Amino acid sequence: MKQQHKLSSGEQQEQTVQARTAKTTAKEFGSVEELLRHDAAQTVVPPEIARRLEESARQAPPKRPWWRRLLG
Amino acid sequence: MKAPCVGTRCVEAAEPRILSPDFSELYDQHSRAIFYLALRFLGDPQKAEDATHDVFLKALRKLDQFRGEASARTWLYRIAINHCRNLLKTWHDRHVFPESDSAVWETAAAGESPLRILETKELGDRIQRTLDGLPAEYRLLLLLISDEELSYEQVGALTEQTPDAVRGKLHRARKAFAALWAKSE
């Protein structure tokens, strides 16, 4: 009997965890735009891009416009 | 030449450098929007990373040509759209892609139902699968209009059509997305 009680307590705990998980992960979006905005907000820009950009700019600095070269 | 404006500040056009605070600010403000567009439009994180790098490098090189008539965001979007379209065209020329099943979403009436997801960790994959099933034009319109900084007029200018045409196509694009979304569950 004690064993049975212990089992049901464990089951109860598991159910609570499942319910909590479902509650925290379930989401509903009213429109495609809302869904995409949420997705965009979750998106992290890889820091590698900024590093590569700096490197590329350093290797080949942007040309000065012709009128600036002319004016010195 | 008018100095380009970033947000409320104007950028000195001479000798732009990636390390300059102004260009860094431009990058900080818009890199997420540009990376997200590239990611979901191209459907490949590595290619999106490369594309974002290339877009900002082009922007850096063309900074003196930016006249501030458009917002910095739309200027960057224009560079990004051209770049991504060229990439897609190159891939399509090299590969034969199966036509997406347009009948599935043309006849669907799922457009009005809310989009529900249970596992947020799978959200990105599911969104990508759904977007991949849409024609590139619908995909692009949905991604642009979901940016709250852009108006219908700006989206129309970026995609070379009238705001009314954008509204009409968006209506169909939303229905198509919702139908494919429901199917992807």
Q: Can you give the residue ranges of every domain in chain A?
A: 2-71
Say whether both B159 and B89 belong to one domain.
no
For B5-53, write each residue's pLDDT tens digit.
444 344 444 444 445 788 899 999 999 999 999 999 999 999 999 999 9
The angle subtended at Cα B74 by Cα B69 and Cα B80, nearest 5°, is: 130
Q: Say yes or no to pLDDT of B93 above 90.
A: no
Q: What pLDDT is recorded for position B66?
A: 81
Q: Is B116 close to A62, i.e. CB distance below 8 A? A: no
Number of independent structural domains in chain B: 2
Give helix then strand counts, H and E, for chain B.
8, 3
Q: Does A59 touch chain B (CB under 8 A)?
A: no
Contacts of B45 in chain A (CB under 8 A): 46
Q: What pLDDT is recorded for position A62?
A: 59
Q: Which of B97, B113, B131 is the last residue of a domain?
A: B97
Q: Is A35 close to B115, i.e. CB distance below 8 A? A: yes
For B97-119, write each residue's pLDDT tens digit.
544 445 544 544 444 456 765 55
Cα–Cα distance for residue pair B172/B116, rounded to 1 Å: 20
Q: Is A43 close to B39, i.e. CB distance below 8 A? A: yes
Q: How far from chain centre, in Å, is Cα A67? A: 44
Say whether both B93 and B108 belong to one domain.
no
Of residues B62 and A3, more confidently modeled: B62
- Chosen for mutation from B27, B29, B36, B150 (greatest number of chain A CBs closer than 10 Å) is B36
Contacts of B148 in chain A (CB under 8 A): 37
Q: What pLDDT is recorded for position B31?
A: 97
Q: What pLDDT is recorded for position B36?
A: 97
Of residues B46 and A4, more confidently modeled: B46
DSSP state of B121: G
Q: Say yes or no to pLDDT of B154 above 70.
A: yes
Q: Which domain holds residue B168?
A: 100-185
Q: Is A49 close to B53, i.e. CB distance below 8 A? A: yes
Say whether both B35 and B54 belong to one domain.
yes
Say whether both B123 and B108 belong to one domain.
yes
Q: What pLDDT is recorded for position B120?
A: 59
Say whether both B111 and B127 belong to one domain.
yes
Mean per-residue pLDDT of chain B? 82
Q: Which residue of B has its CA nearest to A42?
A: B124
Of residues B84 and B67, more confidently modeled: B84
For chains A and B, count residue pairs whose Cβ atoms are closer than 8 Å.
111
Looking up residue B185, the CATH number of its domain turns out to be 1.10.10.10
Q: Which of B97, B127, B153 is the last residue of a domain?
A: B97
Q: Is B35 close to A46, i.e. CB distance below 8 A? A: yes
Look at the block and give the residue holding tokens 């090189």. B61
Indicate whether this model's pTM tops 0.80: no
Contacts of A22 in chain B (CB under 8 A): 118
Give the CA count within 13 Å in the CB-facing half-sphere of B97.
Answer: 15
